[in-house]
């Protein structure tokens, strides 16, 4: 294997092919336990995360339930607002505005996507920046672009936590992010490239020529395209770190953007799917909720 992504640091579990397994479930549990300890040590102040679910989307329902369960483990309170798919723009906005005005609610997560016909941007714009624990409003994004403090989108932040926990060097290294959404790809580029992290980042997307060749030039590949099995061993420089964000629901179950079997034989470090970036998204949502409670003087 060429120079290893994790520089041989740490005593980590490895795949059959020898890559470090970047275990998101394990790191999420560590983070949740740390959050619970922090809240305990502060005398158990109320820290409240509100979730808003509109419609009947089954995966969204499962995500929201997992978020509530982990919030409870972190000693946080959950408030849940559920609205029918036909609640209408005004109905959804009224529910979110009420939570925004409630001093007992520190963080608000509006589960996306909203049903067809609803304007998600108009709903998100109602969130005060300090309660925007998903980090997706224009103001939070603006803060990230400008290097100011504020909530950072949970999925790309979770990727950064994995790289850090598993000792993946970023400074001066080349990274390729596949996907340019405001939810994942764009903030991921900013986080990898910002001062202190200092990777040299290339943003790849559906019009990128020779994706495999580009990825092979990278020390870190973050795949967030939502295309099952897009990244194969052919895309991976020996020893590189490969992080799978994509989720595709297939007849064979949930599948990532990364062809795990072939990639783990070449990579220096790789995330499993499931059990990689998904749990980290929840961990970072709860981290952001604690930060939100601090911003609002709850502890």
Nearer CB in complex with ligand NAD: 137/277: 277
> Interface with ligand NAD includes 152 (CB under 6 A)?
no
Among 225, 242, 267, 290, interactor with ligand NAD by CB under 6 A: 225
CA atoms within 13 A on the CB side of 148: 10
> Interface with ligand NAD includes 204 (CB under 6 A)?
yes
Nearer CB in complex with ligand NAD: 149/250: 250
Nearer CB in complex with ligand NAD: 199/215: 215
- The angle at the Cα of 178, spanning 177 to 180, to the nearest 5 degrees, equals 90
Residue 58: CB minimum distance to ligand NAD, A: 14
Which residues are identified as catalytic? Answer: 67, 111, 134
| Torsion angles phi and psi, residue 129, rounded to 5 | -50, -35
Going by their DSSP bridges, the two strands 174-178 and 200-204 should be labelled as parallel
Per CB under 6 A, contacts with ligand NAD among 257-286 are 277-278, 281
CA distance to 173, 211, 229, 258, 294, per residue, from 226 (Å) = 25, 15, 9, 10, 35
Kindly indicate which of the ranges 73-81, 138-146, 174-182, 212-220 contains the residues binding ligand NAD, using the contact rule CB under 6 A: 174-182
Among 42, 247, 254, 295, interactor with ligand NAD by CB under 6 A: 247
> Interface with ligand NAD includes 211 (CB under 6 A)?
yes
> Interface with ligand NAD includes 179 (CB under 6 A)?
yes
> Interface with ligand NAD includes 183 (CB under 6 A)?
yes
Among 107, 246, 268, 272, interactor with ligand NAD by CB under 6 A: 246
Task: Report the Cα 241 to chain-centroid distance in Å.
Answer: 17
> Interface with ligand NAD includes 206 (CB under 6 A)?
yes
Among 25, 200, 208, 262, interactor with ligand NAD by CB under 6 A: 208
Binding mask 19-38 vs ligand NAD (x if CB under 6 A, - otherwise)? --------------------
Kindly indicate which of the ranges 90-98, 126-134, 220-228, 290-298 contains the residues binding ligand NAD, using the contact rule CB under 6 A: 220-228
Name the site residues for ligand NAD (rule: CB under 6 A): 155, 178-181, 183-185, 204-206, 208, 211, 224-227, 230, 245-248, 277-278, 281
């Amino acid at each position: 294997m060429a120079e290893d992504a994790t520089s041989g640091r740490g005593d980590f579990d490895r795949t059959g092919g020898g890559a470090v397994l970047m275990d998101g479930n394990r790191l999420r549990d560590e983070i949740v336990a740390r959050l619970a300890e922090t809240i305990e040590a502060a005398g158990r102040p109320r820290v409240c995360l509100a979730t808003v679910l509109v419609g009947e989307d089954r995966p969204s329902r499962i995500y929201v339930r997992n978020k509530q369960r982990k919030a409870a483990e972190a000693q946080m309170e959950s408030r849940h607002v559920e609205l029918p798919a036909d609640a209408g723009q005004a109905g959804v906005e009224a529910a979110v505005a009420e939570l925004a005005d409630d001093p007992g609610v520190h963080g608000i997560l509006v589960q996306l996507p909203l049903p067809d016909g609803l304007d998600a941007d108009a709903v998100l714009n109602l969130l005060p920046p300090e309660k925007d624990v998903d980090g997706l409003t224009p103001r939070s994004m603006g803060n990230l672009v400008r290097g100011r403090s504020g909530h950072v989108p949970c999925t790309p932040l979770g990727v950064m936590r994995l790289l850090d926990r598993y000792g993946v060097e970023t400074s001066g290294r080349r990274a390729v992010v596949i996907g340019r959404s405001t939810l994942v790809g764009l903030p991921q580029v900013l986080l990898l490239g910002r001062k202190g992290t200092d990777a040299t980042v290339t943003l790849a997307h559906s019009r990128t020529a020779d994706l495999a060749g580009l990825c092979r030039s990278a020390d870190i590949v973050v795949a967030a395209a939502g295309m099952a099995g897009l990244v194969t061993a052919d895309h991976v420089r020996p020893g590189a770190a490969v992080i799978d964000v994509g989720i595709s629901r297939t007849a064979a179950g949930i599948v990532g953007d990364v062809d795990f079997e072939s990639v783990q034989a070449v990579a220096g470090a790789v995330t499993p799917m499931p059990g990689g970036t998904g749990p980290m998204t929840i961990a970072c949502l709860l981290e952001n909720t604690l930060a939100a409670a601090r911003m609002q003087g709850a502890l």
